Structure formats: C-alpha cells, structure tokens
Amino acid sequence: MTTLARKCVPFTPFDRELAKSNIAIVTAAGVHLRGQEPFNIADEMGDLGFRIITPDTDSSGLMVTHHHYDHADADADINVVFPLDLLRELEADKVIGGLARKHIGYMGYTMQLKAMYEGTAPEIANEIDRGSRADAVILTGG
Amino acid sequence: MRGIPTVLVTVSPEVSAQMRPPRALYPKGFKIGNSLGRPHMRALQRQVLTDALSLLSENTRPGEVVTREYADYGEQYDPPRVKG
C-alpha cells in the first residue's frame, strides 16, 4: 500500500505554445560542471547544495558526483539524465523556443528531508523563477 | 510567483507517485540512471523528452505518473518498489 503525500499537488497550468517556450532542466542526478565543487558524497547525511549550469555549457564539461546510483551511463553520455544537447536539437528544430538561462543540478540523496523540502527546493525554484526565463521545467532523477 | 509548470521523467514510478508530481512520465523498464534512455541512443532519448514535454499540454491527472513503452530501449528492468 503506497502512502501518498498529503500536500496539494503543485500543479501550474501550461498555457503557452511549446514552440515558443524556454525549457529548464532541474536534475537530482548529481550533475555539475567539472570546474564546480563536487557534491559531498563523504557525508552520509547527503549534500543539500545545488549547482547552476548555464545554457552555453558544452556537455563534455559536465560530470556526475553521486554515490547512490550507477552513473556510468551518464558518464558516457550526460544526456541520459541531463538532456542539454537534446534541448538544443529541439530548439534547432523549432520544437521548443529555446533553453532557459539557468539549469540546476543537485544530489537528490539526502537524509535531511525537511531541509531539502523547506530549504533547497524553494531555493532552486527561486533560481528558476528569477532570471532563468524558463516557461517550463523538465525534472529528472538518477 | 505564479508557479512554474514542471514535468518529471521518473524511472522509480512508485517512489515518485508518493510525492504526487504535477506531471510525470515513466518510460517503462528503464533502469535508474537512464531517465532518457541509454547512452548515445539519440532518437530514443529525443522521443522520451518530447513525450515528457507533450505532457505539459495534455490533459493529464495531476499527481499521477503516465507510463509509456519504448521498444527500442531493449532489456527491461524492474523499478524499485515501495515497501508496504
């Protein structure tokens, strides 16, 4: 018997044309730039931080730091969890309007669920809401 | 803040369903770490992504996970189960 969250479903209607919309990626798969501080996988409490990734990023400059899933496939092709190149293809083919100005990677594993829910999650939402020009977000996990 | 439309691609549908995501796609049988498909299978990855983006405009039921099958993925994996 699955227990469902008692919180309201945070459903926001999508009332734009996809072909005119900017899309952001938010992933819990532990994706970050090679030059950014890796997520802390030594702390079994997890890492509550997140990293901002700009749309001009070369996907070869991305990596994964996460110790709770096998990310060998993401290491070989980051698009399996962070579809940056795919969004560029969709933009070129006019399926979407473009890429948002900010994308986010964080490490979904944490034992600090309250801090994740009340701290990290609204901080990420604020980053997307402020200055990313995202019209919609695609979410992925590991 | 009026809210931001989101769509989740999940390979742990039972776990994700507990959180009642506004819109979610489960590509059936994909393993953890393969949300969009296997490495370098660009056509498959693109299909999953466009299907997910399509859910933004489709008349889905908020809180439910939509399952789609992708034969090109190949070997199927059982998703993690929620312990009852």
Residue B48 counted as domain residue: yes
Q: Domain residue spans in chain A?
A: 26-140
* pLDDT tens string A117-139: 999 999 999 999 988 999 999 99
- Do the Cβ atoms of B8 and B49 come closer than 8 Å? no
Give residues with Cβ within 8 angstroms of B45, minimum separation 6: A79, A80, A83, A86, B36, B37
- Do the Cβ atoms of B26 and B65 come closer than 8 Å? yes
Question: What pLDDT is recorded for position A4?
Answer: 78
H helices of A9-140, where? Answer: 72-76, 84-92, 113-115, 121-129
Residue B14 counted as domain residue: yes
Question: What pLDDT is recorded for position A44?
Answer: 87
Question: What pLDDT is recorded for position A8?
Answer: 82
Q: Looking at chain B, which residue has its C-alpha nearest residue A130? A: B1
Residue B56 counted as domain residue: yes
* pLDDT tens string B11-55: 999 999 998 999 999 999 999 999 999 999 999 999 999 999 999
Count of domains for chain B: 1
d(CA A103, CA A82) in angstroms, rounded, equals 9
Give the nearest partner residue to B38 out of A5, A80, A126, using CB atoms: A80
Say how many C-beta atoms besides its own lie within 10 A of residue A95's C-beta: 17
Contact residues, chain B, for A9 at CB < 8 Å: 20-22, 62-63
Contact residues, chain B, for A11 at CB < 8 Å: 22-23, 62
> Given CB atoms, is B50 within the 8 Å cutoff of chain A?
yes
Which segments of chain A have a pLDDT < 70?
A: 1-2
> What's the mean pLDDT in B57-72?
95
Residue B38 counted as domain residue: yes
Contact residues, chain B, for A94 at CB < 8 Å: none
Query: Does residue B73 register a pLDDT over 70?
Result: yes
Give the nearest partner residue to A142 out of B4, B14, B33, using CB atoms: B33
Which residues form the domain of B59?
8-73
